[in-house]
Amino acid sequence: MSDTKVKKMLFILSKATLENVYAAFVMANGARMEGIESEIFFTFFGLEAIQKKKLEHLHVATVGNPAMHMPTMLGGLPGVEALASNMMKKEMDKLDMPPVGEFLEILSDSGCKLWACKLAVDMFHLEEKDLIDDLDGILTIGDFYSRADQDGTQLLFI
């Protein structure tokens, strides 16, 4: 329906900070809503976003993040990261942004493919049972590149 030349978006999510995870999710969902195919490849710390035990406990980065407008030493104090994360989650809820687990369900139901990176899964000694049930599989990066199988495919590293 839309005239965009982008036909398929492939995302590589390598980080587990809330702002990065939501960036990937919003863009992947937004693509589906526009009739564009989308897939996410979770690698390294990005894997936290699809681990059953960890996905609802992601945080924003309060240290080394100048946009937090908070002295780095303060950001490192115990509890500050959790506090900032809770504040951000509240703001997101006001905008009707779903929590991570629900967002993953929405993505999967919308036809967005969710993949775990084989190398990172091995490195963190994870098993399939540690990962969400909606996962489409565990792939090598080569497998993931082969998903870029049509004109108008874009690949984005987050």
Partner 1 sequence: MDKTIGQATISVDQEGYLTDLSQWNKEIATEIAKEQGIEMTDKHWEIIDYIQEKYKNEEPLSIRGIKKSGVINIKEFYALFPGGPLKKATMIAGIPKPKSCI
Nearer to partner 1, 29 or 51 (CB): 29
137 belongs to the binding site for partner 1 (CB under 8 A): no
Q: How far is the CB of 120 from partner 1 (least distance, A)?
A: 28
22-29 contacts, C-beta under 8 A, 24 or more apart:
22/92, 22/97, 22/103, 23/158, 24/158, 25/100, 25/103, 25/104, 25/107, 26/97, 27/156, 28/107, 28/112, 29/103, 29/106, 29/107, 29/110, 29/112
DSSP 8-state secondary structure symbol assigned to residue 99 = P
Q: How far is the CB of 34 from partner 1 (least distance, A)?
A: 5
Query: In the window 80-119, what residues touch partner 1 (CB under 8 A)?
Result: 95-98, 102, 105-106, 109-111
32 belongs to the binding site for partner 1 (CB under 8 A): yes
Q: How far is the CB of 156 from partner 1 (least distance, A)?
A: 16
- Please report, as ranges, the residues that interact with partner 1 according to CB under 8 A: 1-2, 26, 29-30, 32-35, 95-98, 102, 105-106, 109-111
